[in-house]
Structure 1
């Protein structure tokens, strides 16, 4: 779907039905790829939400933020505190994480959006690194420093105790009104939240607000000349994007009730930038593709070592097996990011619009190939008519 195409409600409905079917059947069609286990599929969903939210800012306005990991961390810390103080039910955790992340995004956006271009990017990076250092050392009573914020059996959990829910032995697990927050049930909880989040992003993309954001990306100066004050629109997009990141952070805490400062590092911000560009910034489905493929590379190829490579290439002669293993091994295992860097470099050079641009080229090539016989037949008919 093109960015400039005006979508009808019917097209949006078809879009959502197809996406929902693909997401909810992931345990089936991911089986041949070795990626159908719950933990990995939950990461697909969570980082898909993170990337979809980031795309609302970067994809629609062109403002490149290097600080969105701060909101991811705020969402995680807020969710874990909710689990400790209130309830192991994820609903209060999600609500508080979204609200606090939105407030934090308003604070950072209000200052950072006074600048644009590379200056805006540097400001967001500075705020994210300050947030990381605050969480790591200064705010240790709240964040528990380098150890990370964790659950304890003695936590008050006021709402659970009022409802008569007591932990019998060991640490309690997160839940959604009794549904376990881990395993396949946790995956489907994350999947439903992803679908809802995507629908909201879809409506934003096709709303007058979304058109104004595209106009800012196209020519902010010209839009200012037409009488629009662009900063409120940018700040709103920044806050919405931060709230998406906070939601993703709360879901990370749901799957693993631990919040650490490493979730606020600049590398986490860079990862969501890679996901968005990899899939196609400014497109609806591109960030989801980018998030899924990068997490797949991280979890599948990082598990490869020399022994696994030898077993995979065991059908080859031993001498060829050894040579190929020596060539491939630097790009998998601990060096999987080398492979990611090469793939990303090829994408940026040959497909600046990301994977969605590549899929668009394939679709146009198939369409043009299907039209050629018809065009040739009409040309032959016209030529015979002229001869007659």
Structure 2
């Protein structure tokens, strides 16, 4: 296991190569788990970006935000407007959505970071709910209200027309240099953006800036006493984290060219908190794992209805199959939240550091067992020679 605090450039390169191989081969090794279809793989990547960015704020500084859904929605709206006004190319949409979210993160952070602790969390929640209500009702000329912002054939798309890309009879779909952002192509586009986002987070973790953020989390008052003004560091981190959320929102619009106010609800902010804690706040890969686990539960376990369970246990007597189906039905299908809640409870009680703590413990046990065997073999060889 590579130490997340101190690592050589060679270790970081190996880290990125291993992660890239794991991510890019997901359609293969996730197939036995029923999670290899493109829509779910895209969801893994998008929410992975959201969780990575949130971890920079919460995992490194300890500032708990319940308002990141606002930046997620802003990124989606900005990306759709980019498709409508400029071009169907993915890159300008993602850049536009990320930057606009960064501007809003600066404005919101300017107010919220005047407070810390629970007051900061409540302020971010208030801004997120205000953003949701504004998008849903007040700013309907920009957001199209409850219907959501959608593409149409009459959109100007200035850059496309400038380069001679004419609209067809069908509704256009986002692409990147002719590669349509749908299906497995859409997954690989999202995967590339996720790997770039992860690399940036990796460099932040390793940098002196990341070390200062950990010091803020450890003891912000002592940091102030040593002469450091912590406000600029917190503001920078908040803006970067908001930009990550904006990138995730932009990619949502890329894979599904629609932006709605429901993406800005407080439940979306709560979900990314769960992802980060479940995977391991303050770790590099933990938020990615947490995002994958929650989205797997949401999409796979929720699909296990009564008919699926009865078919699975059809080899049993009918009365026994009905009993088992009735019991398991409490934990799957519409009851998948119960399963997720139980998993989250067990993780918090027995692994406060999240799933990554469990992985690290297992790795230490394996290494300890290996060293113990080697020591035993050495002693045995010595005794035989004697």
Q: How does 1:1-16 map to 2 (within 5 A)?
A: 1=1, 5-16=5-16
Measured at CA, do residues 365 and 142 of structure 1 come closer, stay the same or move farther in structure 2, by a change above 3 Å? same
Give the stretch that moved more between structures: 301-310 or 371-380: 371-380
Within a 5 Å distance, the mapping from 1:311-322 to structure 2 comes to: 311-322=311-322
Contact 2:71 2:105 in 1 (8 A): yes
Q: Is the 8 A contact 2:4 2:284 kept in 1?
A: no
Change (3 A) 1:11 1:2: closer
Task: Supply the distance in 1 between the matched residues of 2:36 and 2:49 (Cα, whole angstroms).
Answer: 19
2:193 — aligned with what?
A: 193
Length-normalised TM-score, structure 2: 0.97
TM-score (norm 1): 0.96
Q: Deviation per CA, 1:120-159: give whole Å up to 9, x if none.
A: 1010000000000000111111111111111111111111
- 8 Å CA contact 2:5–2:205 kept in 1: the answer is no
Residue in structure 2 matched with residue 119 of structure 1 by the alignment: 119
Structure 2 Cα separation of the partners of residues 380 and 153 of structure 1? 79
Aligned residue for 1:249? 249
In the superposition, relative to structure 1, how do residues 85 and 323 fare at CA in structure 2: closer, same or farther (>3 Å)?
Answer: same
In structure 1, runs of 5+ residues without a counterpart are none
Aligned residues: 386
- Counterpart of 1:334 in structure 2 is 334
Aligned to 2:65: 65
**Pairwise CA RMSD:** 1.6
Report the 3-state secondary structure (helix = DSSP H, G, I; strand = E; otherwise coil) of the residue aligned with 1:331.
Answer: coil
2:310 aligned with 1:291: no
Superposition deviation, residue 4 in structure 1: 5.9
Tell me if structure 2 keeps the 8 A contact 1:3–1:283.
no
Equivalent in the alignment of 1:219: 219
Q: Residues 132-171 of structure 1 correspond to what in structure 2 (within 5 A)?
A: 132-171=132-171
Deviation string, structure 1 residues 215-256 (Cα, Å, up to 9, x no partner): 101111111111100010001000000000000000000000
Deviation at 1:312, TM superposition (A): 1.6
- Any idea what SS the aligned residue of 1:5 has? coil
1:2–1:283: 8 Å Cα contact kept in structure 2? no
Indicate conservation of the 8 Å contact 2:53/2:245, yes or no: yes
Any residues of structure 2 matched to 1:1-388 within 5 Å, and which? 1=1, 5-376=5-376
Please give the per-residue CA displacement for 1:51-105, whole angstroms capped at 9, x wherever unaligned. Answer: 0011000010010100000000000000001111111111111111111100000
Tell me how far apart the structure 2 counterparts of residues 36 and 237 of structure 1 sit (CA, whole Å): 34
Q: Is the 8 A contact 1:3 1:282 kept in 2?
A: no
The Cα shift of 1:315 comes to: 2.9
SS of aligned partner of 2:11: helix
Is residue 71–residue 105 contact of structure 1 (8 Å, CA) maintained in 2? yes
Q: CA deviation at 1:378?
A: 5.7
| Separation (CA, whole Å) in 2 of partners of 1:3 and 1:109 | 31
